[in-house]
Amino acid sequence: MIRRVWIPAVILALALPAVGCDSGQNADSESTKAAEEEPAANVDLPEPPPASDLEIPEKNDDGTFRVRGLIAHRGQHLDSKVKVRGVITDVSEPCDPARAKQRGESCSKPYLFIEDKKKGADRQLMVVGFTDEFAQKANLKAGDEHVFVGSYKKMAQGFAASESGLLLVDKIDDEKVVQ
């Protein structure tokens, strides 16, 4: 009795997947035929830019590094003295040591970010190694262009910037930075 039920159940189980596959193959062939009958899409693409447009200039006309150029060629310039021209995009807020001490905190070291003067530049470089007093005296503010001279590094003064590197500054324009 069990054998009689068992054999038809096995036959039915084997037949069901075959039926399912058969209808799927017909659907695929119908969609393929429909796709072959449709006209090909006409795509009008612009000409590719010349290779010279894809090169990243390392330096400005005056011999100073561009921010993007320095970062793109960082392997050649890491741990060396560089002279970079850039526009300040962000300056850290100055810290009042007395107020910080009241709160039981310490002041973080000041920093700023620079980028190439082109609007919407896609790379920024962190600049460290100056004091809040120096930043105020030199009137460092966002939007101003300066020439920064210093050591191009991955880490300095507790800051780390492994991807773009950072600049431990010695001079901003002609002003020697006193730490």
Which pLDDT score, from 0 to 100, does residue 83 have?
97
Q: Give 112-143 pLDDT, tens digit per residue.
A: 999 998 766 788 999 999 999 999 999 999 99
- Cα dihedral sign for 76, 80, 82, 88? positive
Of 38-52, 53-67, 72-86, 129-143, which range is least confident? Answer: 38-52
Q: Give 1-20 pLDDT, tens digit per residue.
A: 555 555 666 666 666 655 55
Which pLDDT score, from 0 to 100, does residue 8 have?
61
Question: What integer best gives the mean pLDDT of the chain?
Answer: 83
| Overall average pLDDT of the 89-118 stretch | 90
With a cut of 80, say whether residue 178 has pLDDT above it: no
Which pLDDT score, from 0 to 100, does residue 39 have?
76
Alpha-carbon distance values, 98 to 103, 106, 122, 175, 179 (Å): 9, 9, 38, 28, 19
- What's this model's pTM, rounded to 2 decimal places? 0.68
Question: CA angle, 127 as apex, 122 and 128 as ends, to 5°?
Answer: 155
110 close to 120: Cβ distance less than 8 angstroms = no
| 79, 83, 85, 91: CA torsion to nearest 10 | 60
In sequence order, what DSSP letters do the residues of the chain get, joined into one string?
-HHHHHHHHHHHHHHHHHHHHHHHHHHHHHHHHHHHHSPPP---PPPPPPHHHH----B-TTSPBPHHHHHHTHHHHTTEEEEEEEEEEEEPPP--HHHHHHTT--PPPPEEEEE-SSTT-S--EEEES--HHHHHHTT--TT-EEEEEEEEESEETTEE-TTT-EEEEEEETTEEP--
168 close to 157: Cβ distance less than 8 angstroms = yes
Question: Does residue 148 or residue 43 have the better pLDDT?
Answer: 148
Which pLDDT score, from 0 to 100, does residue 35 have?
59
Of 31-35, 93-97, 133-137, 142-146, which range is least confident? Answer: 31-35
Domains, the chain, ordered by start: 52-176 (2.40.50.140)
Q: Give dist(CA 150, CA 132) in Å, integer.
A: 18
Which pLDDT score, from 0 to 100, does residue 77 have?
94
Q: Give dist(CA 127, CA 133) in Å, integer.
A: 15
Read off the amino acid at residue 103. R
- Both tokens of residue 86? 């850039």
